[in-house]
Structure 1
Amino acid sequence: MESFGGSTPTSSHLRYTLLVGIYNCIAAGQVQHDRALVMVMVERWRPETHTFHLRIGEATIKLQDVEVMYGLQVDGRPLYIEEPQPPPSSYREELTRLTGCVPQEGEIHGQTRMSMVALCTHLRLLDIEHPITDGTPQVDVDSRAHLYLLIIFGSILFPNISGSHVSLKYLLFLEDLGELGCYSWGVAVLAYLY
């Protein structure tokens, strides 16, 4: 399976996507979609009511749909960012600490958003220059998993309108990789959609 920026997911990447319960979301991106059907559904979406207007009536996306179609967990702890939020400079420090990615000038936008291209490039370079093997230290595996999951959060689960930046606020959920499976990802994704 080809992934972000030409980087191929390793078994450690897949282990963490399975732990979080987001593997099906990634796999759904590999499925051939009926573009005509998608376009018809887009035309029938009414943002003011959050429903599709169909001949048979109105339909909307429900929590059960998110759980069944994407396999996202709907039970568990809620995802929320507590107030007050850390100062913007700490996001840069957290990015470097958790992923090893040191942002260059111009790659951070608006203090808390990182260029998706820069993150994917960093991941691709790591995969080429330092592939994960059985002898790779766990800290390096975790660092790569943090980076991979940050890209998934910003591109698949919680994409922004531009599609070219990832909010570094998601780093708050990546501190402890063992806790990722405890969150209600399906609820968060559905809430983000609306």
Structure 2
Amino acid sequence: MVGLIRSPASTFREEESIDSKQQGRSKEEGVNRGKGLCFERVDEFDGDEPVVNDIDGNEEQTNIPTVEHHTDIPDVDHPMDMLSSSEVVATPFLRGLVGPSIPTNFSCHVAAKIWNNEVVVSTFVERWQPETNSFHMPFGEMFASLDDVSTILGIPMTGTSVSTNNLSRDEAVKVLVKLLGVSKDDAVVELKEAQGQLVPLEWLHENFQSVSNADSNDFIHYAARAYLLLLLGCTLFVDKTTIRVSVVYLKLLEDLNLVHSYAWGAAALAFLYKQLGMATKSTVRQIAGYMTLLEAWIYEHFICLLQEELDRLEAHEVIWDPYISKRDNHPFAEVAYYTGLLKCIDIVEPYHPDRFLRQFGRMQTILPPPLSPVS
């Protein structure tokens, strides 16, 4: 399998599929995800605060926003007119992003609850076990498989390995000059500013955003590589600063006709495994990697997100296969059954789908020993 490091594959027993009724509450059943609570859609309520049911089914008052269903729709000219002034974001959207396409009411959107790293990411990081590369839950192990990555991101899982030698400072300068067409002096300055074999994302944006069809083919190719490098630095391979990207990925973009042939999904998962493992260290205060992928996976599989709720979570409360009704458009990626090692540049991480077979609709077998750590 190209792009993956081969290892003896596990055997998977074809067992009875998990009853779809136990996959979790679907959106059609009117259950909305909330901040550690299981919200039910309500037609009306008395008083100022809605009544919700907690994980044990007990009613309680809360001031956490819920999705409300009303038969009477207000007569407004624009959905924004329904928002109070406190619901409109006055500060920049997510890491300072600004622009005409950026929503101004993000703080009251359900996605804002999922993007809250303090609530979601840290809660799951403390359950991460680097030896098995999985979350250890009260009922067993779970984590994003190659099928999850394929379905959520839609990028290749197989193909040429995302692998190349690391660069020295001089080699990084040469790569920038050759593949982005910048001067040697500019390349040296930017590498020095980024403090390593990296370049600032803002620098890529400023130098190549003005590309047009009137430019030479060479400059258009430079701009295309700069855009792809910027994209990788903003998504799959985000570092802790979130404002720079390694030049080593630029080497993989030299031939633009081959970019689609790389196993970007497997590389992204290996990179995320590594960052989660580092984040479990008591001295680490930040985490790198594609958090949107992690948060989307959590959103699809879990309804309750707070620590005390996860501690009491049972297997039947997990949405094991959230894509079961979407398989016509997102066929199951058979490569998800692969057991072995995933690679991203100099990162090599074990991949153990046999430790979370229930995510594939199968019976969980006795867990085999994990692969030995790779130094």
What is the TM-score of this pair, normalised by structure 1? 0.68
CA-CA distance at 1:171 after TM superposition: 1.7
CA-CA distance at 1:182 after TM superposition: 0.8
**1:92 matches 2:178:** no
Which stretches in structure 1 are left out of the alignment for 5+ residues?
Answer: 9-30
**1:81 matches 2:164:** yes
CA-CA distance at 1:59 after TM superposition: 0.4
Partner of 2:195: 109
**Residue 179 of structure 2 contacts residue 225 of structure 2 at CA under 8 Å; is this kept in 1?**
yes
**1:142 matches 2:224:** no
**1:153 matches 2:232:** yes
Note the alpha carbon deviations across 1:101-144, whole angstroms, 9 max, x for none: 4232632423x223x2xx413423542xxx23332322222111
CA-CA distance at 1:161 after TM superposition: 3.5
Distance (Å, rounded) in 1 between the aligned partners of 2:167 and 2:133? 33
Distance (Å, rounded) in 2 between the aligned partners of 1:132 and 1:5? 24
CA-CA distance at 1:43 after TM superposition: 4.1
**1:72 matches 2:161:** no
**Residue 208 of structure 2 contacts residue 226 of structure 2 at CA under 8 Å; is this kept in 1?**
no
Distance (Å, rounded) in 2 between the aligned partners of 1:173 and 1:59? 32
Q: 1:64 to 1:141 in 2, by over 3 A?
A: same
Q: Aligned residue pairs: how many?
A: 162
CA-CA distance at 1:150 after TM superposition: 1.4
Distance (Å, rounded) in 2 between the aligned partners of 1:90 and 1:39? 37
What is the TM-score of this pair, normalised by structure 2? 0.38
Q: 1:113 to 1:77 in 2, by over 3 A?
A: same
CA-CA distance at 1:5 after TM superposition: 8.2
Note the alpha carbon deviations across 1:7-45, whole angstroms, 9 max, x for none: 98xxxxxxxxxxxxxxxxxxxxxx935234445334433
CA-CA distance at 1:181 after TM superposition: 0.6
**Residue 7 of structure 1 contacts residue 124 of structure 1 at CA under 8 Å; is this kept in 2?**
no
3-state secondary structure, aligned to 1:157: coil
Note the alpha carbon deviations across 1:52-96, whole angstroms, 9 max, x for none: 2334321022111111111120121112114xx554312112112
**Residue 6 of structure 1 contacts residue 124 of structure 1 at CA under 8 Å; is this kept in 2?**
no
Which residue of the other structure, out of 173, 179, 202, is the alignment partner of 1:120? 202
Distance (Å, rounded) in 1 between the aligned partners of 2:259 and 2:98? 22
The answer to which structure has the higher helix fraction is: 1
**Residue 160 of structure 2 contacts residue 263 of structure 2 at CA under 8 Å; is this kept in 1?**
yes
**Residue 132 of structure 1 contacts residue 141 of structure 1 at CA under 8 Å; is this kept in 2?**
yes
3-state secondary structure, aligned to 2:228: helix
**Residue 204 of structure 2 contacts residue 227 of structure 2 at CA under 8 Å; is this kept in 1?**
no
Larger radius of gyration: 2
Distance (Å, rounded) in 1 between the aligned partners of 2:97 and 2:262? 29
Which segment is superposed worse, 138-147 or 97-106?
97-106
Matches within 5 A, 1:1-194: 32-33=111-112, 34=114, 35=116, 36-82=119-165, 87-101=168-182, 102-103=186-187, 104=189, 106-110=192-196, 112-114=197-199, 116=200, 119-127=201-209, 131-194=210-273
Which stretches in structure 2 are left out of the alignment for 5+ residues?
Answer: 1-92, 100-109, 274-375
**Residue 99 of structure 1 contacts residue 147 of structure 1 at CA under 8 Å; is this kept in 2?**
yes
3-state secondary structure, aligned to 2:250: helix
Partner of 2:90: none
**Residue 204 of structure 2 contacts residue 230 of structure 2 at CA under 8 Å; is this kept in 1?**
no
| One-letter amino acid matched to 2:266 | V
Determine what percentage of the aligned residue pairs are the same residue. Answer: 30
| One-letter amino acid matched to 1:120 | E
CA-CA distance at 1:192 after TM superposition: 1.7
| One-letter amino acid matched to 1:107 | E
